[in-house]
């Protein structure tokens, strides 16, 4: 069994991106600039936003940090998005989700210029991805594809089972894994809350991608020996083993599943670090005009 080290790949990619940025600067181009909008001061969101901005600077990007109080109107937020859309200095724009209930997330996502949509959430990017056209890929699925590629994990003709059909992970990763590409070209089954015989279906999987949002849902009896297991879940569970009284767990019962696998992502340190770095990769591509002119 080999651990897939997302943290190491993250650092490797940071170095690669930094190198490309330095080359851009040497050629007289401007540094990529990522704008991050946060509404309200939810603790988890603040942690994510700060981490994104910090990593931006680590790879030589500029950042544009916009914070609004939770009671900003939808119209004010949309006006700010329009302003950043029009700002040639900004290459990528993300709005940290979730948003307060009085603001429509779909409206906000669709208001972002798809050419700056480095989260890959705009319908144009989703649609172009489904059609195998160049697009900003959503960060977590793109990060999973990167892990499979860098560990040279064969996907062609393999049975891939995806647990979960969310717009940000399950559905897009099923599209990426089934399309004609490498990694990709897998036979993909997408499962969800209405699926039956989940154990049996999971046991067919050469590659099992779990994004179901239930702590330690996947157990040893759901694993085909030798499978590759990618765990997207992250949950903070009470624990007597740690000083903090908490321990991070994934959607997979790691201790019993890991011995059966050929490869598995740990939690933390597997998929998690790939999400931020994929966002930065998209921002680099935006700054280089490699997806759209």
- Annotation says 96 is catalytic: yes
Token representation of residue 69: 């109080």
Among 191, 202, 205, 285, binds its own copies (CB under 8 A): 191
**Any contact of residue 101 with its own copies (CB under 8 A)?**
no
CB nearer to its own copies: pick between 56 and 205: 205
d(CA 36, CA 38) in angstroms, rounded, equals: 7
Shortest Cβ distance from residue 181 to its own copies (Å)?
11
d(CA 34, CA 37) in angstroms, rounded, equals: 10
Q: Which residues contact 288 (CB under 8 A, 6 or more apart)?
A: 20, 24, 32
Residues in the chain: 293
Shortest Cβ distance from residue 86 to its own copies (Å)?
21
**Any contact of residue 131 with its own copies (CB under 8 A)?**
yes
d(CA 123, CA 109) in angstroms, rounded, equals: 8
Among 12, 73, 132, 219, binds its own copies (CB under 8 A): 132
CB nearer to its own copies: pick between 184 and 287: 184
**Any contact of residue 127 with its own copies (CB under 8 A)?**
yes
Among 38, 63, 125, 283, binds its own copies (CB under 8 A): 125
Phi and psi, residue 36, nearest 5°: -120, 125
Among candidate residues 115, 87, 132, the one with its CA nearest the CA of residue 292: 115
Q: Which of 96, 117, 231, 251 is catalytic?
A: 96
Among candidate residues 176, 172, 192, 193, the one with its CA nearest the CA of residue 184: 176
Q: Which of 91, 119, 206, 231 is catalytic?
A: 119
Judged by DSSP in three states, 2 sits in strand
Token representation of residue 34: 């990522």
Q: Provide the CA 89 distance to its chain's centre, in angstroms.
A: 25
Q: Which of 14, 20, 38, 52 is catalytic?
A: 52
- Annotation says 224 is catalytic: no
**Any contact of residue 189 with its own copies (CB under 8 A)?**
yes
Among 14, 178, 278, 283, binds its own copies (CB under 8 A): 178
Positions annotated as catalytic residues are 52, 96, 119
Binding site for its own copies (CB under 8 A): 106, 122-133, 156-157, 165, 167, 171-172, 174-175, 178-180, 185-192, 194-196, 201
């Amino acid at each position: 069994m080999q651990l897939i080290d997302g943290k190491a790949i993250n650092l490797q990619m940071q170095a690669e991106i930094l190198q490309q940025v330095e080359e851009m600067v040497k050629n007289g181009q401007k540094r990529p600039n990522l704008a991050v909008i946060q509404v309200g001061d939810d603790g988890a969101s603040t942690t994510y936003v700060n981490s994104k901005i910090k990593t931006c600077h680590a790879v030589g990007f500029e950042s544009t940090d916009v914070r609004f109080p939770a009671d900003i109107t939808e119209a004010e937020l949309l006006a700010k998005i329009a302003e950043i859309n029009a700002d040639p200095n900004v290459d990528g724009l993300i709005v940290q989700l979730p948003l307060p209930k009085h603001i429509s997330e779909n409206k906000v996502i669709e208001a972002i210029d798809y050419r700056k949509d480095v989260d890959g959430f705009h319908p144009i990017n989703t649609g172009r991805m489904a059609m195998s056209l160049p697009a900003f890929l959503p960060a977590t699925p793109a990060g999973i594809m990167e892990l499979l590629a860098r560990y040279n994990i064969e996907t062609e003709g393999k049975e891939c089972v995806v647990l979960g059909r969310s717009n940000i992970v399950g559905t897009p990763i099923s599209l990426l894994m089934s399309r004609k590409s490498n990694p990709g070209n897998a036979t993909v089954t997408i499962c969800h809350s209405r699926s039956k015989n989940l154990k049996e279906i999971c046991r067919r999987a050469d590659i099992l991608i779990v994004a179901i949002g239930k702590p330690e849902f996947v157990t040893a009896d759901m694993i085909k020996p030798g499978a590759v297991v990618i765990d997207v879940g992250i949950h903070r569970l009470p624990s007597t083993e740690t000083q903090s009284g908490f321990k991070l767990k994934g959607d997979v019962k790691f201790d019993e599943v890991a011995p059966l696998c050929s490869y598995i992502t740990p939690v933390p340190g597997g998929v998690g670090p790939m999400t931020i770095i994929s966002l930065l990769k998209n921002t680099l591509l935006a700054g280089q005009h490699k997806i759209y002119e």
